[in-house]
């Protein structure tokens, strides 16, 4: 169950507003070289074992359509320009239809717990709403804090099979312990 992917869906009708704390700002991807910053962030959060693999994934998945990425990849930076987070208001296939996808929501460990996740997700959802009528995301049972945030934003669990039901029951059990 630990490695199972869980899916959630959102209708993008209601998106709560969370202001970004002072000292931080959002920017969109402007050039492919920012892939290095994306790689540093996603490696720092443990998504990749090293920056080279992260950069390869960035180039294959996001920079392959750079014009699209420049409209959909958000960076979170400090006022002095340090890159500390990222999220992608991406897209993907869902039941034979292309819909929005909240993807690669990452904040470096030293900035986690500073009330940055909700503003980053809200900004990403607003960007998704410009392009799509609904969106999905993929997460894992080992991410209860992220799942808690997604539920607060109105994402709903997607359950089609018994193993998904078991995984979600486990997640809800873990969330209710806290």
Per residue in 47-95, pLDDT (tens digit) is 999 999 999 999 999 999 999 999 999 999 999 999 999 999 999 999 9
Q: Give Cα 83 distance to the centre of its chain.
A: 16
For residue 161, being part of any structural domain is answered with yes
Helices (H), ranges, the chain:
35-44, 51-57, 66-72, 117-131, 144-152, 162-177
For residue 170, being part of any structural domain is answered with yes
For residue 88, being part of any structural domain is answered with yes
pLDDT at 100: 97
Domain that holds residue 120: 6-177
Angle at 18 between CA 14 and CA 24, to 5 degrees: 140
Per residue in 111-143, pLDDT (tens digit) is 999 999 999 999 999 999 999 999 999 998 888
Give me the phi and psi of 21, to 5 degrees please: -60, 155
Q: Is the pTM of this model over 0.85?
A: yes
Q: How many domains does the chain have?
A: 1
pLDDT at 4: 81
CB-based burial label for 117 (10 Å; 0-12, 13-18, 19+): buried
CB atoms within 10 A of CB 145: 12
DSSP per-residue letters across 64-86: GGHHHHHHHEEEEEETT--EEEE
For residue 162, being part of any structural domain is answered with yes
For residue 1, being part of any structural domain is answered with no
For residue 91, being part of any structural domain is answered with yes
For residue 64, being part of any structural domain is answered with yes
CATH of the domain at 23: 3.40.630.30
For residue 40, being part of any structural domain is answered with yes
Helix (H, G, I), strand (E, B) or coil at 48: coil
């Amino acid at each position: 169950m630990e490695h199972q992917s869980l899916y959630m869906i959102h209708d993008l009708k209601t998106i709560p507003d969370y202001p970004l704390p002072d000292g931080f700002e959002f920017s969109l991807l402007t050039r492919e070289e920012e892939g290095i910053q994306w790689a540093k962030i996603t490696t720092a959060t443990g998504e990749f074992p090293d920056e080279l693999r992260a950069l390869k994934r960035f180039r294959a998945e996001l920079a392959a359509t750079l014009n699209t990425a420049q409209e959909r990849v958000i960076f979170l930076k400090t006022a002095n320009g340090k890159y500390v987070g990222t999220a992608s208001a991406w897209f993907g296939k869902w039941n034979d239809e292309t819909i929005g996808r909240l993807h690669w929501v990452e904040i470096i460990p030293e900035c986690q717990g500073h009330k940055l996740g909700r503003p980053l997700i809200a900004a990403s959802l607003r960007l998704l709403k410009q392009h799509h009528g609904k969106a999905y995301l993929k997460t894992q049972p080992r991410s209860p804090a992220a799942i808690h945030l997604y539920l607060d934003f109105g994402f709903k669990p997607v359950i089609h099979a018994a193993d998904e039901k078991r995984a979600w029951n486990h997640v809800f059990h873990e969330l209710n312990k806290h």
